[in-house]
Amino acid sequence: MSDVHQESGGDNFDLSQFYQIFFEEAGENLDLMEQMLLNMDLVTANDEDLNGIFRCAHSVKGGAATFGFSDVAELTHQMESLLDKLRRHELDPNSAMVDVLLESADISRVLLARHQTSDTSDPPSTVDLVRRISELAAGGGVTVASAPAAPASVPSAPVVEPVPVVAAPAPPAPVAPTAVAAEPPPAAASGQRVLEVRMGPLDRPELADGIKDLFRDISGLGEISELPSQQADYRLFKVVTTSSNDDLLDLFVFHVSREQVHIQPMGGAPTASPAAPAQMIAPVAATPAASAPPAVAAAAAPPKPAAPATFGFFDGAPGAPGSEGAPKEASSPVTKAAARPAAASTSSVQPEAATIRVAISKVDQLINLVGELVITQAMLAQYSQTLDPTQNQQLLAGLADLSRNTRDLQESVMSIRMIPMSIVFNRFPRMLRDLASKLGKKVDFVTLGEATELDKGLVEKITDPLTHLVRNSCDHGIEMPADRLSKGKTETGTITLSAAHQGGSIVIEVRDDGRGLSRDKIMNKARERGIDVYDQMTDAEVWQLIFAPGFSTAEVVTDVSGRGVGMDVVKKNIAALNGSVEIESSEGFGMKVSVRLPLTLAIMDGMSVGVGDEVYILPLSAVVESFQVKGDALSTVGQGSQLVKVRDEYMPVIELEKVFQVPRYNRDQDSDIMVVIEAEGSRVVLLVDELLGQQQVVVKNLEANYRKVPNVSGATILGDGKVALILDTSALVRRSRH
Amino acid sequence: MEVMEKREAGSKAGAREYLTFRLGQEEYGIDILKVQEIRGYEKPTRIANAPHFIKGVVNLRGTIVPIVDMRLKFNCAQAEYDSFTVVIILSLRNRVVGIVVDSVSDVMELPTDSIQDAPEVDSVIDSDSVMGLGSLSDRMLILLDIEKLMSTMDMGLSSGE
């Protein structure tokens, strides 16, 4: 960013190379702002939150103005001025403001997307929004004017308010030093420091003057005055502020690059006496550093205790009579706890060192290389087994070290691709808020375990199914407030989204305390549709029925019609990721959908099976059981298709030997091991020669250099360096249907 | 980039380098810039229902590479796999492919004027894939456009969409 500002004056400097960075940053800032707005408690809104939201709007505005996206800059500028009043406590936040700010964030995103794609169509109009924001901002201005206790304050300077009412309290800028000395806000005084800021060497020193505008625009930042500089290409400022050096540097990069700024305390120790800042205040000063308590204090507030573990779904069923309010109590600490680190991170000290942006292709390349290393290591380990331990002691010790280091390296590298579930979870509060208000329902949204990490590729693919599940819970699960009350539940329903690691997989649960699934209705519906059901079916089996294609939960359980993808698509999408879905439900008390996924797509738990001289890999997630059979256990239908009876159920048999035309050298040998696999809701039996073992395999793409092979989903490299094909269980199941 | 420039320069000067190999009694040449490496033959993993000349796939340092036996593709009298059998790994525009040949003979520079157009003959090789015939004293070199040859449909290397 700094470079942009420095050189933007150049005649033919191309800003466009920085566009992408700006779009990414602006997107992140808008997301963060939205999240903080939603988490903000209107009554107890603290300065830290408000400042955080303000900073987000400010960053977007700054960037947009730099790159000449005037519509975005204008809108965010309006947001900024409203937020500025909020954080100076001239206005009390209310939900109308939150609404309008959320809406503005949406419009900003649309506008940014237009710039990003160079869309030339008509932009969405911002006139109405701008008017509403300024009305809200102005409304507050009046209250402040009538409140004598409020500190003399200044509307943020460059706001060009189109509405006449705006005029606000309006005492002119320079506040008499004595006034400040007389009533110094205690919080401000304690953290206030007097700094000497030296900037240079600068090619265009006048750029540095822009930072004076910063102090004018951002109230609460402090005072700045220019000192005479000895060198022509240096600028010297005196700054009185409560902000940390890093915060200042972050602001200054809008004008000069970080390396060119040197901050040191002026005249030694921070000023503790209330009189001192008054003396320091220069005539240029615009606003007293009034309402900004040290951000540190707020950030250091003790984190709220983690949510009580309300995992056990039916012990103390949420919303059940008797445990009313419990979910509510649980919800607020959780969301708060989530909000806190997010807010703290914006004000924390080193935002730059925390992350770096790396192209995903580089990470993938790294993962590939490590994968090769693992294979090489496995080969060495295999060959070393034949060595004489007494003669090759050192070599073997080295190999053992290599093995450990390789494993560690692989773990670390895989973790690079891992991103926290919060990326997915963060989109839901907003969606639920909108949906619930549209449906007239009251819903609390609780998230647990958003720090749980998942492969980036999976995160992208799990978002849509999860969205559907959460939407379902809100739409069909949670009852209308009146219904809930009449059933003795709390008026507000709770939807809980949680993620946790369990062994080698991640389990994501969507839970609600709504009406739950009705066994009878599902059974009736299934009979209507001609699905074979019987009364002795277990609940779990009945719930699985809702995954049947075209079996809308809406028609079954509620009068509200279903929309978008059905549960069958959810199940299919999750199965495509080698995952599984389970449902638990109790009528009247809610339901829980558990999605179990592997941690990564790049590595899979596989079962290797031998057919003839060849080895194939079965995804372990698809394997149900395996057993040995006698040849006469097979029955045939129409002289062709073979069936085998497994516990009273006939299943089609697929002979891998025939599917893959495996040559037989040893005529005596015969396939007699059966592996039951399940995919797309059906089970088939694969006939193989032997089970070789179970191992983690690195999934390789076969299509990169070759082509799609029927019944094969990919390939992997075995410990001995040979390639083995991974079976496509869905394709095999489909094959058996024809 | 540099390679490209060199190549341009080379073609202007009228000379290109070819890797020559033998298939039965015939001698073939391919553009050396398409060759990634040459290695010994190892038994590939068979792929079901593939054309007979696709021997399968091998692991080339973590990459899955299909192996085409040119001797089977060009209907050579015999195709034996012994310790002298060689695989040429080709780095083509969008894929890496290995081809099995009887032996690699040489890398040689051929001036443009010693290359003549191939006469139309009935052969298993699509005439589009033959760039021309190079004559080296008494030997005839069949110059293949290996990129074109490998991307033809009947090679069965791509899904053909």
Could you state, in order of their start, the residue ranges of all structural domains in chain A?
Answer: 1-170, 173-294, 360-417, 420-598, 603-737
- Look at B47 and A725 and tell me if their CB atoms are within 8 Å: yes
Minimum distance, in Å, between the CA of residue A610 and any CA atom of chain B: 13
- Look at A715 and B48 and tell me if their CB atoms are within 8 Å: no
- Look at B65 and A705 and tell me if their CB atoms are within 8 Å: yes
Angle of helix A427-439 versus helix A456-472 axis, rounded to 10? 20
pLDDT at A162: 43
Question: Could you say which residues from 127 to 156 on chain B have a Cβ atom under 8 Å away from some Cβ of chain A?
Answer: 156
Dihedral sign from CA coordinates of A200, A204, A209, A213: negative
- Rounded Cα distance, A552 and A529, in Å: 11
User: Tokens 């003839």 label which residue?
Assistant: A612
The bridge status of strand A580-586 relative to strand A590-598 is antiparallel
pLDDT at A350: 40
Q: Which of A614, A661, A702 is the closest to B64 by Cβ?
A: A702
Minimum distance, in Å, between the CA of residue B93 and any CA atom of chain A: 11
Alpha carbon dihedral A42, A46, A50, A51, in 10-degree steps, equals 180
* DSSP E strands, A137-234: 193-199, 222-227
Query: Residue A162: how many CB atoms within 10 A of its CB?
Result: 11
pLDDT at A620: 86
Label residue B35 by pLDDT band (50, 70, 90): very high
Q: Decide: helix, strand or coil at residue B94.
A: coil
Q: What CATH superfamily is the domain B15-151?
A: CheA-289, Domain 4 (2.40.50.180)
- Rounded Cα distance, A48 and A87, in Å: 9
DSSP A680: T
pLDDT at A208: 67
Task: For domain A603-737, give the CATH number.
Answer: 2.40.50.180
What Å distances lie between residue B8 and A121, B1, B4, B16, CA to CA?
45, 11, 6, 10
| Model ipTM value | 0.82
Q: Which long-range contacts (CB under 8 A, 24 or more apart) does A49-55 make?
A: A49/A339, A49/A343, A50/A83, A50/A86, A50/A87, A50/A93, A51/A87, A51/A220, A51/A292, A51/A295, A51/A347, A52/A343, A52/A346, A52/A347, A53/A83, A53/A87, A53/A101, A54/A80, A54/A83, A54/A84, A54/A86, A54/A87, A55/A346, A55/A347
- Selection from A537, A481, A512 nearest residue A331 by Cα: A512
- Look at A614 and B45 and tell me if their CB atoms are within 8 Å: yes
Fold classification of A420-598 is: Heat Shock Protein 90 (3.30.565)
Q: What single letter denotes the amino acid at residue A626?
A: S
Measured between beta carbons, the chain A residues lying within 8 angstroms of B59 are 375, 717, 721-723
Task: For an interface test with B, give the residue of A706, A727, A732 to mutate (most B CBs within 10 A).
Answer: A706
Minimum distance, in Å, between the CA of residue A315 and any CA atom of chain B: 50
Burial (0-12, 13-18, 19+ Cβ within 10 Å), A228: exposed
Question: A173-294 sits in which CATH class?
Answer: alpha beta
Label residue B19 by pLDDT band (50, 70, 90): very high
- Look at A701 and B156 and tell me if their CB atoms are within 8 Å: no
Backbone phi and psi for residue A363, each to the nearest 5 degrees, phi listed first: -65, -40
Structure tokens at A157: 């300077």
Radius of gyration of chain A (CA): 32
When comparing pLDDT for B37 and A167, which is higher?
B37
Q: Which of A375, A705, A723 is the closest to B45 by Cβ?
A: A723
Kindly state whether B97 is in contact with chain A, defined as any CB-CB distance less than 8 angstroms. Answer: yes
Measured between beta carbons, the chain A residues lying within 8 angstroms of B65 are 705
Minimum distance, in Å, between the CA of residue A682 and any CA atom of chain B: 25
- Rounded Cα distance, A78 and A156, in Å: 10
Kindly state whether B45 is in contact with chain A, defined as any CB-CB distance less than 8 angstroms. Answer: yes
Burial (0-12, 13-18, 19+ Cβ within 10 Å), B150: buried
In chain A, the N- to C-terminal Cα span, in Å, equals 60
Q: Decide: helix, strand or coil at residue A729.
A: helix
CATH architecture of A360-417: Orthogonal Bundle (1.10)
Measured between beta carbons, the chain B residues lying within 8 angstroms of A613 are none
Cβ A107 vs Cβ A126: under 8 Å: yes
Q: What is the pTM of this model?
A: 0.49
User: Tokens 């050579």 label which residue?
Assistant: B76
Structure tokens at B122: 């009935």
Backbone phi and psi for residue B59, each to the nearest 5 degrees, phi listed first: -95, 110
pLDDT at A588: 83
How many residues are recorded in chain B? 161
Measured between beta carbons, the chain A residues lying within 8 angstroms of B36 are none
Minimum distance, in Å, between the CA of residue B12 and any CA atom of chain A: 32
- Rounded Cα distance, A116 and A16, in Å: 10
- Rounded Cα distance, A97 and A158, in Å: 21
- Look at B45 and A725 and tell me if their CB atoms are within 8 Å: yes
- Does residue A123 have a cis peptide bond before it, meaning omega lies within 30 degrees of 0? no
* Whether CATH 3.40.50.720 fits A1-170: no
Walk along chain A (738 residues) in steps of 10 and give the mean pLDDT of each run: 40 62 81 82 75 82 79 82 80 81 85 78 77 77 38 41 41 42 42 72 66 66 71 72 70 68 63 42 41 41 42 40 40 41 41 70 83 80 83 90 88 82 86 85 88 83 86 84 88 89 81 85 80 79 78 49 61 82 86 84 81 88 84 71 79 85 73 82 85 81 82 83 87 78
Kindly state whether B95 is in contact with chain A, defined as any CB-CB distance less than 8 angstroms. Answer: yes
Backbone phi and psi for residue A521, each to the nearest 5 degrees, phi listed first: -65, -40
Label residue B161 by pLDDT band (50, 70, 90): very low
Dihedral sign from CA coordinates of B74, B75, B79, B84: negative
pLDDT tens by residue, B51-95: 888 999 998 877 889 999 988 888 877 778 888 889 999 998 878
DSSP B78: -
- Look at A614 and B46 and tell me if their CB atoms are within 8 Å: yes
Query: Residue B36: how many CB atoms within 10 A of its CB?
Result: 16
Cβ B135 vs Cβ B114: under 8 Å: yes
Q: Which residue is closest to B160 within chain A, CA to CA?
A: A707
Kindly state whether B157 is in contact with chain A, defined as any CB-CB distance less than 8 angstroms. Answer: yes
- Look at A705 and B64 and tell me if their CB atoms are within 8 Å: yes
Domain residue ranges in chain B: 15-151
pLDDT at A149: 39
- Rounded Cα distance, B84 and B89, in Å: 16
- Rounded Cα distance, A277 and A180, in Å: 8
3-state secondary structure A319-376: CCCCCCCHHHHHHHHHHHHHHHHHHHHHHCCCHHHHCCCCCHHHHHHHHHHHHHHHHH
